Chain A
Amino acid sequence: MNQAETLKRFREKSGQVFEQINRDMIGQQEVVQHAVIAMITGGNVLLEGVPGVGKTRLVRAIGRVFGLPFSRIQFTPDLMPSDVTGTNVMTRDEKGNTVYRFQPGPIFSNIVLADEINRATPKTQSALLEAMQEHMVSVAGVDHRLEEPFFVLATQNPVEQEGTYPLPEAQMDRFMFKLVVGFPTVAELEKIVLMTQQTMEETSEQVLDAETLLQMRALAKQIPVLPELLTYTMRLVSATHEDSAEKAEVTGQYIALGASPRACQALITAAKARALMDGRFNVSKEDIDTLAYPVLRHRIKLNYAAMAERKTADMLIAELIREVSARKR
């Protein structure tokens, strides 16, 4: 399928994707949009929200709409790495000989929901994170490649931090987005209750397939970006570093650690996908500013002064955008 046809198909289907997802998800439009963007660009997502706000339901709906196999891993403190990646098991072949056969773990799926990732031990966490980075699993010295598209949505509960193992910054950086699933509004709650009173089943239908998704991914990468916007993006990320010439005023006050270069890559890649989904063939500043929040909020580490003054990452990102935008483009 050539580019024009792919584009045409994308433009036709992108509206249907959201329509189908919204059949299972009430509200959370921004979260849904960003999750789809991450799907298209091949990025992984960290979902944070209190229990019962629809994190798992969202992942299921995305998997169904895109026609991708979905697996769920419930991370508990006793979960072993082999429980995630799979292991070699001893079995007998047709001749009755004892052989070792690799039994793939739940990670061998296109969409993996890693529920409460912060509850598992760092060792188990790293097994998943390694697979996220390399799209490959090594067991007993043998590499097993994961099928594309491979997409991990990890969740973590912002409460109940006792007995958990928070992800370190280096591993948080592997998630393209951190999406905060907020508590539904009263109107949304009403709809949710009415819907679930009728049926708890998920009714979304497949719209796209894996091949189309990969084509869309390749297509999104070709969206042009103005050099000015590229510079703006670099300045925005550099502004989070205290030793940078582009340092913002809030950086020295509240940010202990700035975002990595992966943030720049994530911003540009995601902005292209967003532009395409929006029916545009160019990245705009609005794309960058909108996506700065999910890209940066888990990549900047706040210091104690920010905690003491109850400054959130989103507040600081808003300040950074305001300050960098005010500078000459």
Chain B
Amino acid sequence: MRTEIRKALEPFRRRLTAEGLLQAAMESCMVTCGAAAVLFALWQFDLITPALFFCLIPLFCLGLGGFFILHRPTLGRTARRVDRTYELQDRTATMVHLAQDEAFFSSLQRQDTIEKLKQLDPKVLRLRFTRRRWLALALCVILSAAVAAGAFASARWLRGGEKEYIETDEMKLARALLQDMRERLNDADLSEQEREELLRQIEETENALEGDNFGLDELAGITRTVGELQSRLDESLIRRGWIYLLREEPHFTAVAEGMINEDIPAMQAALVANYNEVMSKTGTQEIIALMDLKTEIDEALEADNEPDDADAYLQYTFYLFADDMLGAANHIAAHKNPDSVIFNAFSLLEKRLISIINGVDIIVEADENEENIYFRQEDGGEGSEDGSSMNGRAAEEGDAEDGSVLLYTADPDGMHGAGTGTRSQQHYEESEKVYEPSLDPYSTAYDAAREYEFELNGIEIENSHVAYGQVYGSYYARMIEAIMDGRIP
């Protein structure tokens, strides 16, 4: 019985099958176009490979099968469609519903309907494609085409056609760094082999920057090379001592040159210039830069395997100087005026440098425990009876009984080094109360006539004394002059 029904509906079902296939193809095409648009968009930003586009073919086939299952003409759907098209008033649908019913009227109804179906022309059943479906398909195709066009256009601009050479900021920086390294290479204390090797790497890196085929990966590699070259240069400088680091700073370079040439006036002038610069820029940033210098000095002290006494004392002098400047930074942080601290730091630095030039060493001896190091000087002139200190001050707590001033202590709870800002500030404050600035370099207020003799490791140096007041006075005269000129605030 069911066979009879299927047979009666078969001509109509064939037409609806074709309709279902076409509808499924349209909808699958929509889905595939949507997926293609997504793939093109991802490909435009290099997120996928072009091989992924081949997946669209099985996607279309899968969609075709899936949508056809949804649209396939079952007996029930065919019956309803026939009833609507031929206005059979639910005859066919009722017949399909009662296919297995053998009641009198069910059979009667089935026969009647089959008879009617045989009289109908299946071609009257037109394939139905709604306008909305066509519109949706057109929109999907247009969207996909638009995204694809955008992807192809941007791909040509990025990859194809003439290669445009675009210099980025990173490339400019790399070139500048390489040029700087070339210049520093000349000043670096390196063996010839090392110098040639570094120069070769610099040249290779510069050539790579000039190339046309330049991508982000290549730039990253060059940046790494530049960094490595810098590190090697820095290591070579540190290895030879901090004095070469100081050579990078123009003023301190002049100080070093003055010392090397034993040109005290030149050295003093350089120190004044440094002082002026520091004072004109007195701020945390500049002070901290000098704090960094202290760190470098520490590292240099550790790095220098076999310093001689002169080197050691020189290093230590600048270590103390940097420590003094640390005190200035503390003053700034405490919203105090660091002028006196900086002034004292430069003053002490000058004295020690001069003593080195004059061949004396103020690092004399350590105590029994080798924890405290004293410098000792002979009082060659007027001065206090209880011994004298370099600064012309009274002995302070921690000083040795013979008047030697504590220069350094390993005891962190003890007194600071003689060159610390704290003690300098304390001294200056005391000085400020007692002394008044004077243009007279030989003013007794500064014990100008006092002479100090220094020993270098216990060895008395002839004519090793220097009129402290003379040095100090001339230096201070220049300071006053600088103040009057407004170079020092």
Taking Cβ atoms with an 8 Å cutoff, the residues of A that contact B are: 3-4, 7, 222-224, 226-229, 280-287
Contact = CB atoms under 8 A, between A and B. Distances in A.
Interface of B: 89-91, 93-95, 97-98, 101, 103-106, 108-109, 112
A222 B103 CA distance: 9
Contacts of B95: 282
Contacts of A284: 89-91
Nearest to B95: A282
B485 to A, nearest CB: 96
B104 A282 contact: no
Contacts of B106: 224
A4 B105 CA distance: 9
Given A224-B98, A224-B109, A282 B103 contact: no
Contacts of A229: 90
30 contacts: A4-B104, A7-B108, A222-B103, A222-B105, A223-B105, A224-B94, A224-B97, A224-B98, A224-B101, A224-B106, A224-B109, A226-B90, A226-B93, A226-B94, A227-B97, A229-B90, A280-B89, A280-B91, A280-B109, A281-B108, A281-B109, A281-B112, A282-B90, A282-B94, A282-B109, A284-B89, A284-B90, A284-B91, A285-B89, A285-B90
A4 B103 CA distance: 12
A286 B89 contact: yes
Contacts of B101: 224
A1 B91 CA distance: 27
A281 B97 CA distance: 13
A118 to B, nearest CB: 37
A229 B83 CA distance: 14
A-B pairs, 3 with minimum CB distance: A284-B89, A281-B109, A282-B94
A226 B109 CA distance: 12
A229 B89 CA distance: 11
A59 B105 CA distance: 31
A3 B90 contact: no
B296 to A, nearest CB: 85
A280 B95 CA distance: 12
Nearest to B83: A284
Among B94, B98, B101, B104, the most chain A Cβ lie within 10 Å of the Cβ of: B94
Given A224-B97, A226-B94, A282-B91, 19 more contacts: A4-B104, A222-B104, A222-B105, A224-B98, A224-B103, A224-B109, A226-B93, A226-B97, A228-B93, A280-B89, A280-B91, A280-B109, A281-B105, A282-B95, A283-B90, A283-B94, A284-B89, A284-B90, A287-B89
A303 B94 CA distance: 39
Nearest to B111: A281
B87 to A, nearest CB: 9
Nearest to B87: A286
Contacts of B103: 222, 224
B97 A3 contact: no
B58 to A, nearest CB: 34
A287 B94 CA distance: 14
A237 to B, nearest CB: 19
B448 to A, nearest CB: 113
A227 B101 CA distance: 14
A233 to B, nearest CB: 13
B77 to A, nearest CB: 12
Contact of B105 (A224, A226, A285, A286): A224
Contacts of B97: 224, 226-227
A27 B89 CA distance: 26
Contacts of A224: 94, 97-98, 101, 103, 105-106, 109
Nearest to A225: B94
A285 B105 CA distance: 18
A57 to B, nearest CB: 32
Contacts of B112: 280-281
Contacts of B90: 226, 229, 282-285
A279 B109 CA distance: 10
B91 A3 contact: no
Nearest to B93: A226
Contacts of B94: 224, 226, 282-283
A226 B91 CA distance: 10
Contacts of A285: 89-90
A284 B91 CA distance: 8
Nearest to B96: A226
Nearest to B94: A282
A206 B98 CA distance: 37
Among B89, B97, B101, B106, the most chain A Cβ lie within 10 Å of the Cβ of: B89
B350 to A, nearest CB: 102
Nearest to A223: B105
A283 B101 CA distance: 16
Contacts of B89: 280, 282, 284-287
Contacts of A286: 89
Nearest to B97: A226
A40 to B, nearest CB: 16
A284 B98 CA distance: 14
Nearest to B98: A224
Contacts of B105: 222-224, 281
A284 B109 CA distance: 13
A223 B103 CA distance: 10
B103 to A, nearest CB: 7
